[in-house]
């Protein structure tokens, strides 16, 4: 099977410029080209791009995806490297959740303190005027 970049984009729900970018940074190998220089892709490109898209959806950074792809190319190797990458990513996600929960609490506090009077007495605006950590 041999298809164009547009068809690859359609099959994977990844935009053409993103596919070109992934080729440029080495996540997706440069495909063979026709005599007219049109890129031609096969089923392996679909699988690899699906992998990349899913990893990006889960928030993995490009370098982590690069490492995961390298690990996936060695199926008989132990998966400790992949586990370490996923564990590191989970820790970062949990840290971000803690930060977002703190942010939510601060915003609720500002909103609850505001009683809807005029702008001159707005507690949301007043809270934002105080330097962070003060």
The answer as to CATH 1.10.1660.10 being correct for domain 5-129 is yes
Domain locations along the chain: 5-129
CB 8 within 8 A of CB 45: yes
Q: What is the mean pLDDT of residues 51-79?
A: 95
Digit-coded pLDDT (tens) for 86-133: 999 999 999 999 999 999 998 898 888 877 777 777 878 887 887 776
Long-range contacts at 64-71 (CB < 8 A, ≥ 24 apart): 64/88, 64/89, 65/27, 66/26, 66/27, 69/27
Instruction: Decide: pTM greater than 0.75.
Output: yes
Picking from 26, 28, 31, 1, the residue whose alpha carbon sits closest to that of residue 14 is: 28
Average pLDDT, the chain: 91
pLDDT at 44: 94
pLDDT at residue 134, as a whole number: 63
- pLDDT at position 21 is 96
Asked if 47 and 12 count as a contact pair (C-beta separation under 8 A), the reply is no
98-to-103, 105, 109 alpha-carbon distances in Å: 9, 11, 17
Q: Could you report the per-residue pLDDT of 14-26, keeping only the tens digit for each?
A: 999 999 999 999 9
């Amino acid at each position: 099977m041999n298809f164009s970049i547009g068809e690859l984009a359609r099959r994977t729900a990844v935009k053409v410029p993103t596919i070109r970018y992934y080729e440029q940074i080495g996540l997706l190998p440069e495909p063979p080209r026709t005599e007219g220089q049109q890129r031609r892709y096969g089923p392996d490109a679909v699988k690899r791009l699906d992998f990349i898209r899913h990893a990006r959806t889960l928030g993995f950074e490009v370098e982590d995806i690069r490492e995961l792809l390298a690990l996936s190319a060695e199926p008989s190797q132990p998966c400790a490297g992949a586990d370490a990458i996923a564990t590191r990513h989970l820790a970062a996600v949990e840290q971000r959740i803690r930060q977002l929960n703190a942010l939510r609490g601060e915003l609720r506090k500002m909103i609850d303190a505001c009683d809807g009077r005029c702008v001159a007495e707005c507690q949301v605006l007043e809270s934002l005027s105080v330097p962070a950590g003060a």
